[in-house]
Structure 1
């Protein structure tokens, strides 16, 4: 059955719009687009027309297009996704206590929704959720066909509302069921104490906007106490990451020079190098960094940089391996793409993605 002819105007219009977009954004690069790309797009519009005309129930074209976009992005990697206008607005807005969460960082690993790490002193942490837990159901809905953005949306909700998770945990034969009450997530990024005279312990729970300043204040306070600081234990266990800029600034506090991290992507503006300044504040005393499978992203950047520069001994277990960069690309209809555009590498060129940081 051929329906292309009866719907050719729709296909031609879509192809024409694609051509205009490539022309204006790529400065007359339309000619470089392979012919098979246009042929594939024509096949897509033909299938869309067939579905709209012949499917057993009346279909919503907008929902079909959203599903097609999600399918395209999900086929690449679990961290890329489509943000509908509603979800994009929700992620941008200041919650002001109206929306709550569980306090977990999640990803999709081997097709299964997986906990990167629970964040300390949050509902998920207090309920007993652990790094590596596989989330099989959210409330009564199986997660098998959910993408990351859909799962995040499902977990967000009004402060005080309840959510049920069905968890598969390594080494536990039966499913674990958790009933968790959403709350506003406020994280105390830095906590510190003296282990014994001269030796400091600092817990960094997440890389937030003020983490570098809070860390510096903690070290200064500990340095002013009896014995000063002769050595530091920096605890990054179950730290799911956060801001790249903060990872760079935290590493910069204890490095006197050299590269901290670099990113590589297909485009030139996705290739970035980040260096330590030569006046790092705390470059003398020895450091031990604690990591585990819940240490991800920004935590891995710091651990990898200090390990490559032999500035610290890394102890614990292999980190999560979340070393990709996601960029939010707004669209004209107030929706957006969350697209993986680059990957992180340690100063010695080790990829963090999937491999993680292996302790010393």
Structure 2
């Protein structure tokens, strides 16, 4: 029996080394000779874990860990290996449909799990969670030591299942325990309405860029009958981005035919993504802030460079790189940074952000009025309306 176990071990070890050898060979561009010292070290580690580690492990577990380690070694927070569960959750997030509690986390401080806002009508919203709440625990898991992806995976789950959050509320200096029951969350990415108190101005909020966002925008514009409005406010604040093609589709309504963004790969090859020719031709203002990122910056950058609208707010986040999702076996995948993007004026905004045309900061203690229901606008939205009024005089 023991002999058979060792035969199985060496069989699996041979497969594992073969896989890693292929990876190493491809990495060095097809050379047959690989770094034998590193290969020997890797084989020795596998042997020690299989032979001497206290807990039982499997070869698939070790391959999973090695794969994750290869990607983690890049030091790129946007490149990640995802197991089957994480991959499923990412696909659900991209599609805007998932089981969870309805919390959007802030990007501002990666060391904290700060509630950016609860999604309207979701368990988190109905339980009274507020922007700025800091998540300290998710069930029994200390949330102060995990990253956002891990936190999201812990809060997601089948509708009807329960999760308990412990949050710290800064404005009251209190710690709250909030029991929640997960629901099926379907998040519309585009909302539109007449701006309260300004019946001749349209207000469009885009919360993220999913594969259907451009179609959603077209539907909202049609339902609103956008032709009856004199001008628009496009709100991209707290929009963390999403699908590249969705951003190009949305930008097509706000810039004339021509380049929206240039995609540059690691060989310097450039692909031009151009407007699809849906330009509305109406005066408009775009609201941006420090959490407008990625695809939101593609839209904002195109508008600024092409000079079709005015950006109001503060400098954007500065994520000017593109990730591609590569499906792997057994439902796993790898999200890898494969290109950078440049604005129509060939500006690289990564880690720099986009400066607004008119800088307006939210006052301390003031909350941004996203999709306002009355005329009590935040200072940025007030300024946007003022700029728009000047445009349509």
TM-score tier by shorter-chain length is: 0.7 to 0.9
Partner of 1:3: none
* Structure 1 position 81 matched with structure 2 position 85: no
The answer as to whether partners of 1:83 and 1:149 remain within 8 angstroms in 2 is: no
Q: CA deviation at 1:312?
A: 1.6
Equivalent residues of 2:294, 2:318 under 8 A apart? yes
Q: CA deviation at 1:125?
A: 4.9
> Deviations along 1:34-66, whole A, 9 cap, x unmatched?
x44x43232122123223333344444543443
Unaligned runs of 5+ in 1: 1-6
Deviation readout 1:21-42 (Å, 9 max, x if unpaired): 677x78x932187x44x43232
TM-superposed CA distance for 1:234, in Å, is 0.8
* Structure 1 residues 116 and 264, CA gap change in structure 2 (3 angstroms): farther
Compared CA separation, residues 281 and 13, structure 1 to 2 (3 A): closer
Displacement of 1:203 in angstroms is: 2.0
Instruction: Look up the match of 1:357.
Output: 354
| Correspondence for 2:373 | none
- Evaluate the alpha carbon distance shift between residue 59 and residue 193 of structure 1 in structure 2; reply closer, same or farther with a 3 A threshold: closer
Q: CA deviation at 1:13?
A: 5.9
The structure-2 alpha-carbon separation of the partners of 1:91 and 1:308, relative to structure 1 and needing over 3 Å to count, comes to closer
Cα separation, 2, equivalents of 1:357 and 1:125: 31
1:66 to 64, 67, 73: 64
- 1:261, CA displacement in angstroms? 1.6
Are 1:311 and 2:308 counterparts? yes
* Paired position in structure 1 for 2:389: none
Partner of 1:206: 208
Partner of 1:49: 47
Number of residue-to-residue matches in the alignment: 343
SS at 1:339's partner residue?
A: strand
Contact 2:115 2:134 in 1 (8 A): no
Conserved? CA contact 2:103–2:119, under 8 Å = no
Gaps of 5+ in 2: 1-8, 358-393
For residue 45 of structure 2, give the secondary structure of its aligned residue in structure 1. helix
Partners of 1:74 and 1:172 in 2: how far apart? 38
Q: Which of 342, 346, 357 matches 1:345?
A: 342
1:3-22 equivalences in 2 (<5 Å) = 14-20=16-22
Q: Is the 8 A contact 2:263 2:342 kept in 1?
A: yes
Within a 5 Å distance, the mapping from 1:102-181 to structure 2 comes to 102-106=101-105, 112=111, 114=113, 117-118=116-117, 120-121=119-120, 122-125=122-125, 127-130=128-131, 135-143=135-143, 146=146, 149-167=149-167, 178-181=178-181
Q: Give a deviation string over 1:289-340, Cα, whole Å, max 9, x none.
A: 1123343322221112111222221122333334432222222344222222
* Residues 79, 148 of structure 1: 8 Å contact kept: no
For residues 252 and 83 of structure 1, what CA distance do their matches in structure 2 show? 33
Give the CA RMSD over aligned residues. Answer: 3.9
The equivalent of 1:255 in structure 2 is 255
Secondary structure in 1 aligned to 2:229? coil
Match of 1:229 in 2: 229
Task: Check whether the contact 2:92–2:98 (CA below 8 A) recurs between aligned residues.
Answer: no
User: Which residue of structure 2 aligns with residue 326 of structure 1?
Assistant: 323
Query: Does the CA contact (< 8 Å) of 1:189 and 1:206 recur in 2?
Result: yes
Q: Distance in 2 between matches of 1:264 and 1:119?
A: 36
1:100 maps to: 99
Change (3 A) 1:61 1:109: farther
